[in-house]
Amino acid sequence: MCHFKSWYLDENGYVVKCEKCNYFQVCFGTLMLTLSEMDYQVFVELVARKKEDHIPMNDPNIRCVLLPTPSGLVHGILCERELDQLHKMLQDTDTEMKAQQLIGLFENIH
């Protein structure tokens, strides 16, 4: 049975990681993905690349962004606003995880 550590939570979704099996669960809108650590990193990179490469439309609420996932069989379809929110969610999660790693390093010194 999984025991989740919450890394991010807001009205749009969440990112948690099981402390036993090390799988991530990413929930955003109607999309929920369960990802290995490697697939999670791939997904974070896919979202960042998509955000960087996307050419803005006239209306940020039109669902025109096709977002692949590490499985290759599942894709999300987002509007620009949602892509921005998902990207922010994943970047905030990454920042929080890195901060906890640094704190852990300092705690291990003492």
Measure the CA–CA gap between 41 and 33, rounded to whole angstroms: 13
Q: Is the pLDDT of residue 109 over 80?
A: no
Token duo for residue 89: 């969610």
Residue 101 pLDDT: 86
Sign, Cα dihedral of 73, 74, 77, 78 = negative
CA atoms within a 13 Å half-sphere pointing along the CA-CB vector of 90: 21
Arithmetic mean of pLDDT, 59-85: 93
pTM for the model: 0.90
Q: In terms of DSSP H, where are the helices of 1-79?
A: 37-53
Measured CA to CA, the distance from residue 49 to residue 110 in angstroms comes to 39
CA distance 16 to 6: 4
